[in-house]
Amino acid sequence: MSVRIGDVAPDFEQESTEGRISFHEWAGGDWVVLFSHPKNFTPVCTTELGAVAKLKPEFECRGVKPLGLSVDKLDNHGTWADDIEETQGARLNFPLLADADKTVSNLYGMIHPNASDTMTVRSVFIIDPNKKVRLTLTYPAATGRNFDEILRTIDSLQLTDKHSVATPADWQKGDDVIIVPSVSDEAARERFPKGWTALKPYLRMTEQPAE
């Protein structure tokens, strides 16, 4: 099964470091970042889990719940958490699913059998409060994920959901945004009273609206 942008994120029940999780119930009305790992005690993934633990306040202030997944058994998640704290300076502070039976990995299409039975399970899914998948990313085993970019994408998604705008290349919070083509100039004057700069009729730049 392949989960695509716009799909409802499949529900599941799976054990985790914080008890058994029924996904849709656990997510509630929050955004979720679900990100997966091939197995415990892998070097790149150790750094990633530490990075997310340090960034948890940034996720929380955006109404986002991080949820990790490892295609490994629950009984050694605790030892790996100790390693993460020792080497990365941050204790695991969000649930890490134990997907040893690959239920969730297969449900979300995380495994790429032409490469390996588990080693390409390094996917990211951003899921909104309506349980819709809004972003998917898959990384190779040797390349660590950029969680600042994931936060930037969440900022963009939340802003563009609220206002009739899109974010340009390399946009950062506070930068100018694009008025979407479906908004007429007449409607734009009402929505964006500070005006805009029209680089082309279809490319109108305006200040980022207040959140």
Q: Evaluate whether 157 touches 206 at the Cβ level (below 8 Å).
A: no
Helix/strand/coil for 27 = helix
Q: Catalytic one among 45, 67, 98, 188? A: 45
Residue type, 42: T
Q: Evaluate whether 56 touches 93 at the Cβ level (below 8 Å).
A: yes
Q: Evaluate whether 70 touches 98 at the Cβ level (below 8 Å).
A: yes
* Distances, alpha carbon 162 to alpha carbons 18, 35, 86, 131, 210, in Å: 33, 25, 41, 17, 10
**80 phi and psi, to 5 degrees?**
-65, -40
CA end-to-end distance (rounded Å), the chain: 36
Q: Is 61 a catalytic residue?
A: no
Beta strands in 38-182 (DSSP E): 64-70, 96-98, 123-127, 133-138, 165-166, 177-179
What's the sign of the alpha-carbon dihedral 51, 53, 57, 61?
positive
Which residues are annotated as catalytic? 45
